[in-house]
Amino acid sequence: MAVTNFFWDGDNLLQEYDVAGSTVVHYTTEPNRYGSITGQRRDSTTHCYHHDALGSATELTNSSQLVTDSRRYSAFGQLTVSSGSTVCPFQFVGGLGYYNDSGLSSVYVRRRHYSLAISRWLSTDPVGLRRERTDLYRYVSMNPINSVDPSGLILIPAVCITCCLGSGLCTYFCLDTCWDIASKGQGDFATCMWDCWDAMPIYAKIVCGAAGIVCFACLIRALAKSLAALKDTCPCYCGPAPGEFWGVLPRFACLQMPGCFCLFG
């Protein structure tokens, strides 16, 4: 089996190279935490990825903008339709970095491998283990049409991604315009933003407002899950045991002191 090495930029895969250190493929990604993968250059040939709403690669086009490959998937990622012969590891939810590892017959999702054959993770969820979930191999709570898990640790509902992007687009024009006006001393930023919102058609206010509310709710939910995981793992600090005073100390120091217990637990 050939050995492939990865070169990462945070959570984004930028290059693959072989054991000799020669670059095999370059990937182009958007400047987000999880991609998205927009193109690849392999064997001096460039292809662009085209994704569906979930982030799965449905078509590849070449430098002449012609479709060379086409794919369709079942809900859990099994290929149902496939044409073309281009090597394309980013297939099911490939836009968010799901890497189809043909050598292991699984999908590599940063911290775990996902099996397309059985529609389950091949190792337990560390976050789930701490929170004592009953099924530590379940993929996105068995809701693959609406959710993804690009970290391999916690699912992100697709509606959250869509609404946060939508609310961002809604405010982009106003922010850009008002920042320019304020920086030139031609008006007040807050007043400009209010006037811009007030000038929006009613349907735009409804859509943008709803998207913003859903996005905010998603962020609160994600923060709550993160705090819950922090509570369960208690990786950071310890506090004094009853009747004693140690101050706030790093956990490794607490482990040396009998009677010290975790602030969160």
Q: Where are the domains of the chain?
A: 5-154, 157-233, 235-265
Q: What is the mean pLDDT of residues 68-94?
A: 95
Q: 177-191: per-residue pLDDT in tens?
A: 787 778 878 778 888
**Higher-scoring residue by pLDDT: 4, 263:** 4
Q: Distance (Å, rounded) from C-alpha 44 to C-alpha 89?
A: 17
Residue keyed to tokens 């690009």: 150
Q: Computed over its alpha carbons, how large is the radius of gyration of the chain?
A: 23
In 3-state terms, the chain is what percent helix, strand and coil (to 5)? Answer: 30, 30, 40
Q: Cα separation of 196 and 204, whole Å?
A: 12
pLDDT for residue 238: 42
Given a contact cutoff of 8 angstroms between Cβ atoms, the answer to whether 68 and 83 are in contact is no
Give me the chain's average pLDDT, please.
77
Read off the pLDDT of residues 204-249 as tens digits, 9 standing for 90 and up: 778 888 888 887 887 777 666 555 544 443 433 344 444 444 444 4
Residue matched to tokens 């794919």: 71
How far, in whole angstroms, is CA 123 from its chain's centroid?
A: 19
Residue 149 or 128, more confident: 149
